[in-house]
């Protein structure tokens, strides 16, 4: 009986350990288990799986993954929010979010060691855009609402990306917004509009074909 208990303890400790250092290729991570309590790290380099149950990820949602960092948001009963590097195991605490906080997209503008790094949650609605953002080290979130520039208030966000630290937002009505952060830490919105005569293929942007920001 003691042996079984010891084996159970060792197995539990092994589950809570982080996976080995990443190889030549990145990890592919699956959230699994009856209560989504486990994480399966698939090593693409060696075609091998490591099943873990990491406490920092219990009951949490991965809002996005960029630059090797996870943005972890609280879920249902948790208001915790932080950045987590699953390779170095470094954790950077962010201001709390209410358990019922909702969002449509999340972006990390740059690696957290960049002093200009911004974590931004975006909520989309017809004709409007709501953003909630902070920098690592801030004690609270900043929220701003934007009205999308269209005549009948029916435009909608189509795609979100990051370019050189600026957050780019593409809408269905062919508007491209650059969200820049000035020295006063207020969001400045730049609306760029292209025309079909400069790029004839853009006239097909309204189609159902996927469109991406690179």
More confident residue, 165 or 209: 165
Strand extents, DSSP E, the chain: 27-32, 38-43, 48-52, 60-66, 69-74, 81-84, 91-93, 105-108, 119-125, 128-134, 142-147, 157-163, 166-171, 175-181, 187-193
pLDDT at 101: 84
Please check the confidence at residue 119 and state whether its pLDDT lies above 90: yes
| Per-residue exposure over 52-80, b if at least 16 CB sit within 10 Å of its own CB, e if not | bebeebeebbebbebeebbbbbbbeebeb
Find which of 78-82, 84-88, 139-143, 208-212 is predicted with most confidence, using mean pLDDT.
139-143
- pLDDT band with cut points at 50, 70 and 90 for residue 138: very high
Whole-number Å distance between alpha carbons of 56 and 138: 21
pLDDT of residue 76: 61
Whether residue 78 lies inside any domain: the answer is no
pLDDT at 11: 46
Least confident of 34-43, 124-133, 155-164: 34-43
**Number of domain units in the chain:** 1
Nearest residue to 134 via CA among 147, 144, 123: 144
Average pLDDT over residues 104-118: 92
Q: Which of 2-11, 29-38, 80-89, 119-128 has the highest mean pLDDT?
A: 119-128
Is residue 119, in this structure, part of any structural domain at all? Answer: yes
Task: State the pLDDT confidence band at 122, using cuts at 50, 70 and 90.
Answer: very high
CA–CA dist 30, 40 (Å, integer): 5
- Per-residue pLDDT averaged across 136-150, rounded? 88
Residues with Cβ within 8 Å of residue 15, at least 6 apart in sequence:
38, 51, 52, 53
Reported as a single tens digit per residue, the pLDDT across 52-98 is 887 887 777 889 999 989 999 876 667 889 999 877 789 999 999 88
Q: Is residue 203 part of a domain?
A: yes
| Domain assignment of residue 60, yes or no | no
Q: CA–CA separation, 29 vs 110, rounded Å?
A: 21
Does the residue 69 lie in any domain? no
Helix (H, G, I), strand (E, B) or coil at 39: strand
Confirm whether 186 is domain-assigned: yes
Distances (CA, A) of 50 to 10, 27, 68, 84: 15, 10, 18, 18
pLDDT digits (tens, 9 = 90+) for 150-200: 767 788 888 888 888 888 888 887 778 888 877 666 667 777 665 555 555
pLDDT tops 80 at residue 40:
yes
- How high is the pLDDT of residue 195? 55
Terminal-residue alpha carbon distance, the chain: 58
User: Does the residue 5 lie in any domain?
Assistant: no
Q: 109 lies in which domain range?
A: 100-214
pLDDT at position 89 is: 81
Residue 151 lies in a domain: yes
pLDDT at 17 over 90: no
Backbone angle region of 95, left / alpha / beta, with phi > 0 → left and psi within -120 to 50 → alpha: beta
């Amino acid at each position: 009986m003691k042996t079984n208990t010891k084996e159970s303890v060792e197995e539990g400790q092994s589950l809570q350990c982080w996976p080995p250092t990443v190889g030549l290729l990145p990890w592919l991570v699956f959230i699994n288990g009856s209560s989504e309590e486990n994480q399966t790290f698939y090593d693409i380099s060696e075609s091998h799986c490591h099943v873990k149950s990491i406490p920092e990820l219990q009951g949490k949602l991965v809002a996005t993954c960029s630059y090797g960092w996870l943005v972890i948001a609280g879920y249902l009963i948790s208001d915790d929010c932080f950045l987590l590097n699953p390779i170095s195991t470094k954790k950077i605490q962010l201001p709390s979010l209410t358990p019922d906080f909702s969002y449509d997209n999340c972006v990390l503008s740059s690696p957290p060691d960049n002093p200009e790094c911004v974590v931004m949650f975006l909520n989309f609605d017809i004709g409007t855009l709501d953003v909630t953002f902070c920098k690592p080290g801030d004690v609270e979130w900043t929220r701003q609402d934007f009205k999308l520039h269209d005549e009948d208030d029916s435009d909608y966000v189509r795609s979100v990306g990051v370019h050189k630290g600026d957050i780019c937002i593409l809408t269905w009505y062919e508007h491209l917004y650059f969200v820049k952060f000035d020295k006063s830490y207020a969001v400045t919105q730049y609306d760029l509009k292209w025309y079909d005569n400069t790029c004839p293929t853009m006239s097909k942007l309204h189609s159902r074909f996927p469109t991406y920001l690179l």
